[in-house]
Amino acid sequence: MSEDPSVAGVSSGSLTPTPDLSPAPPPAAGRPSSKLSPETGWRRAGCFILLLVALHVVVGPKARLSEWRVDATVNPSFAEATAWRSGRLDLDERMHDTALIGGRIYNVYPPLFTFISYAALAGRDLNLWVMGRMGIEPPDASDAVSFPTSWLVGLVALPLVAMGFWALGRATGRSAWAALLCFGWIAGTPVIACLATARGGSINHINHLLSQTGLMLIAAALLGRRRLALALVGLIIAVWSRPLTVAFVLPILWAAWRWDASLRQRRLIAAAAALVLAIGAPMTLNGLKFGSPFETGYAYIYAERTDELAERGRTSLFSPSYAKRNAWYMNLEMPGWEVGSFGIRPVLDSHGAGIWFTTPLLLFAIFGVRHWWADRTRRWLMLGSLPVIVGILCYHNTGYVQPGYYRFVLDFLPIWLVVIAPLTVGDVRSRLALGAVAWSALYFNLIT
């Protein structure tokens, strides 16, 4: 009897898991009956709806999606999109983390949200033109400098839920368990903090949310039913929002080489083309703005600043000397606790808190290493995260300000979560995973 990776979440060539680790029993030969299969479309839809309800109850009061707003006075990527429409590359006003060079101000963030903003503005203009043709009075002119909220929520927030549920469903083969893990990913990791902060237009947190969709797409495409094209789309989304995620091209290239030798050359060419696009677009913009494709302009955000972070950034953006400090906050920093008339609450460091305490579900990656290492696709996904982690540790900034969480772990956390998802299934392990999700959701609800 052959095993269908799309159902079991274990790619071909992997070691057969033990019964308590198996995400689902092997399917019967042939296509199962849609009426008898426990994973019918209705069941998946029901689990997804319940997931949305749970997120609305727990995360909704923090995210407040109806209040999301981005405008050109606080978001440099949106400001850059408005500048493009005026035929310029530089910005009108300097805001936080924008580069000052040669008397001009530039956005230094990756281009995905700039592209999205440009498209949203073009869509708004088309809508106004249609309204004019139909004799409908246009909305307030002040909306011209803001990102349409419906577009913002639809393109940044909602894809998280759909992509996470899909990817985790592929990994476990169980819709109900995928919904639980997806809930834990959004409510029990820095994702919830990003959702809350993105409401005010923070480009850092918006980019983190966009990258989560890309990383989940990579994991879903490489595990289960193999779809290299979707993995390449996920890579572009991730790199255009968080550049360090380019390291996940490694498992993609491995997959292109290993899958179906008759299509190897075509797959490798497609992967190379996607990589060129992923890094070529930002490098082209770098050349246009700063005179060199290798100059990101990031060091220039510290122009005219004298704080400690600025001094480190001007000295070196990446250095092994930063690794000890970053490793502490990423792994070992523990929040304190205080008790008062307000009850009990954590006392937080603005540089972060250790991921093993805040999201203990990730411990499955350590204690289950023997099992995911035996699966070649999962092994390469985890190996792809190593350069990302090294880059994070050597970066001059911890991610400050981030009281009680470490947001940079989002550059690899979705990959880890999908890799370990099958290991959370089993009598004892399911209970441990459920407890870990409950703890993380409680903790992040307290600190967000």
DSSP characters for 240-293? TT-GGGGGGHHHHHHHHHHS-GGGHHHHHHHHHHHHHHHHHHHHHHHHHHHSST
- The CA distance from 288 to 293, in Å, is 8
Query: Which letter does DSSP use for residue 395 in this model?
Result: B
Residue 21 lies in a domain: no
In a domain, 229, yes or no: yes
* pLDDT tens profile 202-244: 999 999 999 999 999 999 999 977 889 999 999 999 999 999 9
pLDDT at 179: 97
- Tell me what pLDDT residue 22 has: 43
Residue 269 main-chain phi, psi, to 5 deg: -65, -45
**Residue ranges of the alpha helices (H) in 321-422?**
323-327, 355-358, 364-367, 369-373, 376-393, 413-420
CA distance 55 to 251: 31
Q: What is the C-alpha separation between 387 and 365, in angstroms, rounded?
A: 17
What single letter denotes the amino acid at residue 344? Answer: I
Q: Residue 13: what pLDDT? A: 41
Q: What is the pLDDT of residues 10-54, one digit of tens each?
A: 444 444 444 444 444 444 333 333 343 457 788 999 999 999 999
State residue 318's pLDDT score.
Answer: 96
How many domains does the chain divide into? 1
Q: What is the DSSP string of 164-188?
A: HHHHHHHHHS-HHHHHHHHHHHHHS
Q: Are 71 and 147 in contact (CB under 8 A)?
A: yes
pTM: 0.88
Answer yes or no: is 4 within a domain. no
Query: For residue 284, what are the domain limits?
Result: 57-447
How far is the CA of 23 from the CAs of 5, 15, 32, 421, in angstroms?
11, 14, 17, 8
Residue 393 lies in a domain: yes
Q: Are 185 and 219 in contact (CB under 8 A)?
A: no
DSSP letter, residue 146 = B
**25 occurs within a structural domain:** no
Q: Which residues contact 127 (CB under 8 A, 6 or more apart)?
A: none
Helix (H) or strand (E) holding 112: helix 112-133
> What is the per-residue pLDDT for 257?
93
Q: Report how far apart, in Å, the C-alpha atoms of 444 and of each of 50, 187, 194, 430 are.
A: 21, 7, 11, 21
The Cα–Cα gap between 198 and 241 comes to 14
The answer to the question of residue 381 being in a domain is: yes
CB contact at 8 A, 206 and 113: yes
- CB neighbour class for 439 (10 Å; exposed up to 12, middle 13-18, buried from 19): middle
Quote the pLDDT of residue 10. 42
Is 33 inside any structural domain? Answer: no
Per-residue confidence (pLDDT) for residue 192, from 0 to 100: 97
Q: What is the pLDDT of residues 163-197, one digit of tens each?
A: 999 999 999 999 999 999 999 999 999 999 999 99
Q: Encode the chain (448 residues) as per-residue pLDDT tens digits.
A: 444 444 344 444 444 444 444 444 444 333 333 343 457 788 999 999 999 999 999 999 999 999 999 989 899 999 999 999 999 999 999 998 999 999 999 999 999 999 999 998 888 777 777 777 787 776 655 555 678 888 899 999 999 999 999 999 999 999 999 999 999 999 999 999 999 999 999 999 999 999 999 999 999 999 977 889 999 999 999 999 999 999 999 999 999 998 878 889 999 999 999 999 999 999 999 999 999 999 999 999 998 888 889 899 989 999 999 999 999 999 999 987 777 776 777 789 999 999 999 999 999 999 999 999 999 999 999 999 999 999 999 999 999 999 999 999 999 999 999 999 999 998 899 999 999 999 999 999 999 8
pLDDT of residue 340: 73
- Rounded to whole angstroms, how far apart are CA atoms 14 and 379? 10
Rg of the chain's alpha carbons, rounded to an integer?
23
